[in-house]
Amino acid sequence: MSWNTAKKRLTRDIEGLPKRLRDHYQREAIKYALPTFDVQTPPLLKNKDIKSLHEIGITEGDLIYITEGENKGTVTTVTKYLSNYDSFVVTNSTSKRLFQKSNWVEGQTSHVIDFPNFIPRSHVRLAGKEKDESGATNYLVADKVVLKDKYYDDRYKKWLPRRYVKHHETIEIPWPNPPGKLEEGELSTEGDAVLDKTYELQTIAKPPVPAEALAQLRNPHSKYKKRVLSELQARRLKAPEMPLSTEQKIYLAKNANKPKKTYTNLSPEIEDFIGSKMAEHISKIDNPAMLTHLEALSKSTIPDFEKTMKNIKESEQA
Amino acid sequence: MSLTAKEAFSKLPQKLHNFFIKYPPRPFAEYNTKPSTITDPKLNPFLPNKNPESGKWHSPKFSLRRSADLYKMARKFGIEELLPPTPKKYYEEKYDNKNWMRGVLTQKKKRWERELPEKLEAREQAIATMDETIAAVRPGYKKQIQKREARKKTWF
């Protein structure tokens, strides 16, 4: 089981509780928050409950009528739908809010900013605007919206359902113009030219970019291409030398005065003694396998023996 | 096959030769059987020795593993006695001087098993002295004993 799952098992799921308890736990959660910093966000929706703009029948740029709260009875325009809160942000509905400096956004100069209010979807009805023959504008509010049929909307470049007022299905409320059409820039490609293919790779044997052009595409003076380490880099790669302690210094000074340890070859007397012992022992062995083993053992070498012999040679010469 | 001493010495492995250069064989040099100081001329390289100046113990010049290597190799050539005394015991000596566990030497057994021989002996004793025991409690039993003695069949 992952830590996430383990944590989820222990958290209290207030969604399944009665409203009275849900309110109680929400109040408990923000009990110690300062009122100036209080963020009255609606509860987060579960992933499966999140709906897209066209599914809920209201999208950005739509006129809406607010049925409850501070702005009750006003008609405004939707600027944003917050799908995870199931709430709208509308024009001209903000409140002064304090923000600690760590939460400031770019260009912010004051702790106090106008923060948009979150208006829950249940407080909002879709509205339509029409002009009658005399030129006066009338607003129409749909209590419920029905989505029927499908047509290709060229403005959105996608298939969308048509919106009708429920029980008055002759009245259609068209989708608004999509917000913020992007302006054509110097480097933008025209819509018709997007799918035009001007270059096709013929073979992978030849590189797509000619060798002469590579220098223009790549930086030949890149610091990563240099084969020489800078002084700082070299210093960073080299471990510092540990300073010696006083005891170590004393020990080294003492040993510097000591003569080098020298060895001498075994005397012929000792060699003869060892040899006679060995000969006596080997003469008793009658197992040929053991004799072969001893033969092999006698040929085994060690690096320290060479050093000892060198030491003996040097001491004899000196 | 008999070898001369010189021929045999030429067969001495480098490992042992190197060791004997640094620590000459036993009758030509003496070695302590117990740890001593690092300034001691009789210093045993197979044992830890103390630095009298600093009071610190130097670990053996040759570890138990290396000393075992040397001993076993020397034994193959029959010269293990020339090495300084080793802290470890090997082969027969090791087996003979083994400090056996008490449980291996004498099994503990269950309580009834431990007490069984004693119990059987007491039972035998009681059966043997049955007549006297009964007679001591029942004075009339002496007559029964006498009767039984009288009725006993003899070979004649």
C-alpha distance from residue A226 to each of A147, A234, A235, B56 (Å): 65, 13, 17, 53
Domain final position from A143, A175, A193: A143
pLDDT in the model for residue A36: 64
pLDDT in the model for residue B3: 85
* Interacting residues of A271 by C-beta distance below 8 A, sequence separation 6+: B5, B6, B9
Distance from CA of B117 to the nearest CA of A (A): 52
pLDDT in the model for residue A56: 87
Number of domains in chain A: 2
User: Quick check: is A192 in a domain?
Assistant: no
Answer whether residue A135 shows pLDDT above 60: yes
Domain final position from A143, A174, A195: A143
End-to-end CA distance of chain B: 81
Q: Lowest-pLDDT range, A28-42, A64-78, A166-180?
A: A28-42
User: Quick check: is A312 in a domain?
Assistant: yes
Residue closest to B45 by CA, chosen among B55, B35, B56: B35
**Residue with the larger pLDDT of the pair B103 and B120:** B120
CB A67 within 8 A of CB A125: yes
B38 and chain A: CB distance < 8 Å anywhere?
no
Chain A residues lying within 8 Å of B3, measured CB to CB: 278-279, 282-283
User: Quick check: is A11 in a domain?
Assistant: no
Q: Lowest-pLDDT range, A79-83, A272-276, A278-282, A293-297?
A: A79-83
pLDDT in the model for residue A40: 66
* Interacting residues of A97 by C-beta distance below 8 A, sequence separation 6+: A36, A39, A112, A113, A114, A115
ipTM of the complex, rounded to two decimals:
0.71
User: Quick check: is A262 in a domain?
Assistant: yes
Q: Are B21 and A266 within 8 A, CB to CB?
A: yes
pLDDT in the model for residue A133: 84
Over the stretch B43-65, which tens digit does the pLDDT of each residue have? 999 999 999 988 999 999 999 99
Q: Are A270 and B6 within 8 A, CB to CB?
A: no
Which of A269, A274, A283 is nearest residue B79 as measured by Cβ atoms?
A274
Answer whether residue B1 shows pLDDT above 60: no
Strand partners, A152: A159
pLDDT in the model for residue A4: 79
CATH code, domain carrying A108: 2.30.30
Q: Is A31 exposed, middle or buried (0-12, 13-18, 19+ CB in 10 A)?
A: exposed
Per-residue pLDDT, averaged over B94-121, amounts to: 92
Per-residue pLDDT, averaged over A97-112, amounts to: 87
Per-residue pLDDT, averaged over B122-130, amounts to: 97
Answer whether residue A180 shows pLDDT above 80: no
Answer whether residue B10 shows pLDDT above 90: yes
Q: Which domain does A125 fall in, by range?
A: 33-143
User: Quick check: is A207 in a domain?
Assistant: no
Domain final position from A88, A122, A143: A143
**Residue with the larger pLDDT of the pair A276 and A13:** A276
Over the stretch A231-262, which tens digit does the pLDDT of each residue have? 998 999 999 899 999 999 998 998 898 888 89
Q: Structure pTM?
A: 0.44
Over the stretch A280-315, which tens digit does the pLDDT of each residue have? 999 999 999 999 999 999 999 999 999 999 999 999
Q: Are B77 and A294 within 8 A, CB to CB?
A: yes
